[in-house]
Amino acid sequence: MSTPFPDLNRAAAAKSRASRHWLVRASSTIAAALALTACAVPSSNRNTAAPAPAQNVPVDLGPHLDLMYRLSSSEPAQQADLIHEVERAYAAAPTTSNSLRYAVALIMPGHPASNPAEGKKILETLLANPERLLTNERLLASVMLQETTARLKLGADSRRLLATVDERTRAQANSDRRAQGLADDNARLRKALEEAQAKLDAIRAIERTIIERNPSPPGTAGPRSEPTVEAQSPPAGR
């Protein structure tokens, strides 16, 4: 049984695939960054180091990653509820955690409220004061900002290429129309020339017929005969 709106279903499926693909790539990047951060602390100093400042205490990124996963795999109605919940928390208390959570929700592709440009602004604002972020929050914000910047640049490049293709397509179409117009004009001129040549040939044929019927030019008389003079006898002498 066919679905009533196959195009809408295909579009939704494409968005879902794009969202999951982006989530996998971002998660891999975050995991690699976390691994590098963990390896940055020498093992010999981990038990003897002084207590880290509050901003360097690792924070659990589970809620942020869970939000990304739920936005990429939920139905549109559930996505709308999640976005509303995150936006309401951000509006009520724009803490660094709520701001980061809202930014993550905005930059996630595949849902109606996706707004990577606005999410990028929030991430840039957060990273402008890195001391207010915990270690993993700062790491997540940096990774998300890099991913979003690359995605926005790719989108801009794609739009520019599409605009170039559209412009060239229109130019080619205009050129084709001009070429067709010239071809049509040439055809009309050729036809008019043929008609004129036909008329000229007909006139010449008529002229030849007239000449053949009347070799002498019109209005020219034939050769005139000289008047005969009768001989007069000389008068008789007196």
**pLDDT, tens digit, 9 for 90 and up, residues 142-184:** 999 999 999 899 988 988 888 888 888 888 888 888 888 888 8
Q: In whole angstroms, what is the distance from residue 138 CA to residue 86 CA?
A: 19
Query: Is the CB of residue 104 less than 8 Å from the CB of residue 144?
Result: yes
Query: Is the CB of residue 101 less than 8 Å from the CB of residue 89?
Result: yes
Could you report the per-residue pLDDT of 16-68, keeping only the tens digit for each?
555 555 555 665 666 565 555 555 544 444 443 433 444 444 456 788 888 88
pLDDT tens-place string over residues 93-130? 999 999 999 999 999 988 888 999 999 999 999 999 99
Total domains in the chain come to 1
216 inside domain: no
CB 104 within 8 A of CB 147: no
Q: Is 218 exposed, middle or buried (0-12, 13-18, 19+ CB in 10 A)?
A: exposed
Decide which of 90 and 65 is more confident.
90
Let me know if residue 187 belongs to a domain. no
Q: Report which DSSP code applies to 57.
A: S
pLDDT tens, residue by residue, 188-214: 888 888 888 888 888 888 888 888 777
Whether residue 197 lies inside any domain: the answer is no
As to burial, measured by CB atoms within 10 angstroms (0-12 exposed, 13-18 middle, 19+ buried), residue 132 is middle
* Secondary structure class of 77 (helix, strand, coil): helix
Six-digit token pair at 42? 């020498």
What pLDDT shows up at residue 8?
A: 46
Residue 148 domain boundaries: 8-39+55-161
The answer to whether 79 and 113 are in contact (CB under 8 A) is yes
Q: Give the contacts of 59 (CB within 8 A, at least 6 positions apart).
A: 134, 135, 136, 137
pLDDT of residue 90: 95
Position 92 in a domain: yes
CA separation for the pair 37, 139 (Å, rounded): 9
Answer yes or no: is 139 within a domain: yes
pTM over 0.75: no
What pLDDT, on the 0 to 100 scale, is given for residue 10?
A: 59
Instruction: Please check whether residue 12 lies inside any domain of the structure.
Output: yes
Which residue is listed with tokens 């494409």? 14
**Cβ–Cβ < 8 Å for 107, 114:** yes
Residue 45 in domain: no
pLDDT at 21: 58
pLDDT at 223: 53
Backbone angles phi, psi at 232, to 5 degrees: -100, 135
Closest CA to 58 of 89, 91, 35: 35
Give a yes or no: residue 118 inside a domain. yes
DSSP designation for 48: T
pLDDT band, residue 228 (cuts 50/70/90): low
pLDDT of residue 22: 57
pLDDT at 218: 54
Q: What is the pLDDT of residue 175?
A: 83
